[in-house]
Amino acid sequence: MMRLALFRIAGAVPNLLGVIVITFLLTRALPGDPAAYFAGLAATPEAIEQIRAQLGLDRSLPVQFVAYLRDLLRGDLGQSLSTGQSVAAEIAARLPASIELTLVALALAVVIALPLGVAAAVRQGSWIDQLARIVTTAGVSLPVFFTGLLLTWLFYFILGWAPSPIGRLDPSFSPPTAYTGFYLVDALLDRDLELWWACARQLIMPAITMALFVLAPITRMTRASMLSVLTSDFVRTARALGLRSPTVLVRYALRNALLPVVTTLGMVFSFLLGSNVLVEKVFAWPGIGSFAIESLTASDYAPVQGFVLTMGVLYVLLNLLIDLAYLLIDPRVAMQA
């Protein structure tokens, strides 16, 4: 078991390297000449050459790559030209906002999609199966930025239920003490329920928007895998032995049906992290996605590269986590080793 886990961790290393190499190559393909930029508008060609040498841009690609790796190990992602701060610090400050939003959205999607998928499989062809079919087809067709704006219009402007879409917290509150950076957790640690509710209110709409988008793949997979498990011999045996229907469904069928669902979580995370950028823009959520968009608009590229790298590394780690979770959920995988 332990050896297998280590094996899986080692398996993530090539992907991690791939992410770093691609980000490095994107850095080199950058529009504009960083040396000319740093030298200023009035610089002579000689001055630009000198700065190019200083920045190491005149050396061969492999040498530059080693320098890039060394910077990465020191946690140096360059400077943001628009904020004047180091990119690593900026991203570290905003990452909790993005992760909190993504996790809440995922939890929301799973809580809705699993029962829906199971119900659709058990009552195949019924109205709930039709509902699941509509959700799965419509869900992947919805542009998240459109859903976000539609929900804002409906729940903020028309019904007045939701707070205005202006980030993580209404300006009349001051943010909780930064223990973890997750406002929901920090507000609880501060024992301030009013503040917790204020944070939760801001979080609900963007989280629902993202959850709607990933509802589809989880529901579809749950339904398909439940359907195949329900026709299997061990479920028939369990039924024949007189076990109660909920016991058969949850303890026997669902536990086995979950395995392929966990595998699709990788794709789900890709959707989530990608749509995260769009949702953050719609709801002015101060995460790394909106930071990347602001920098893009200002032609400030170091933060964009830092963002792509952070997202890539995050995604590789999430996939590794899924792999390791698989070992725990499915004892057969560990047995085969």
Residues at the interface with another protein (CB under 8 A): 14-16, 18-19, 21-23, 26-27, 29-31, 137-138, 140-146, 149-150, 152-153, 156-157, 164-165, 220, 223-224, 269-275, 277-278, 281-282, 292-293, 296-297, 301, 304-305, 307-308, 311-312, 315-316, 319
Whether residue 152 contacts residue 143, with contact meaning beta carbons closer than 8 Å, is answered with no
CB of 311 to another protein, least distance (A): 4
CB of 132 to another protein, least distance (A): 11
Task: Return the number of the residue (138 or 250) whose C-beta is nearest another protein.
Answer: 138
Task: Return the number of the residue (21 or 53) whose C-beta is nearest another protein.
Answer: 21
Task: Return the number of the residue (81 or 224) whose C-beta is nearest another protein.
Answer: 224
Task: Return the number of the residue (152 or 256) whose C-beta is nearest another protein.
Answer: 152
CB of 161 to another protein, least distance (A): 14
- Contacts made by residues 154-159, CB under 8 angstroms, sequence distance 24+: 155/205, 156/205
DSSP 153: I
Task: Return the number of the residue (96 or 217) whose C-beta is nearest another protein.
Answer: 217
CB of 289 to another protein, least distance (A): 9
N-terminal to C-terminal alpha carbon distance within the chain: 8
- CA dihedral (153, 154, 158, 159) positive or negative: negative
Task: Return the number of the residue (187 or 207) whose C-beta is nearest another protein.
Answer: 207
CA distance 195 to 203: 12
Whether residue 288 contacts residue 273, with contact meaning beta carbons closer than 8 Å, is answered with no
CB of 31 to another protein, least distance (A): 4
CB of 191 to another protein, least distance (A): 33
Which residues are CB-neighbours of 211 under 8 A, at least 6 positions away?
A: 105, 106, 108, 109, 112
Task: Return the number of the residue (195 or 304) whose C-beta is nearest another protein.
Answer: 304
State the DSSP string of 232-277: SHHHHHHHHTT--HHHIIIIIIIHHHHHHHHHHHHHHHHHHHHHHH
CA distance 14 to 222: 30
CB of 185 to another protein, least distance (A): 24
Which residues are CB-neighbours of 136 under 8 A, at least 6 positions away?
A: 215, 216, 217, 219, 220, 223
Query: In the block, which residue shows the tokens 């078991």?
Result: 1
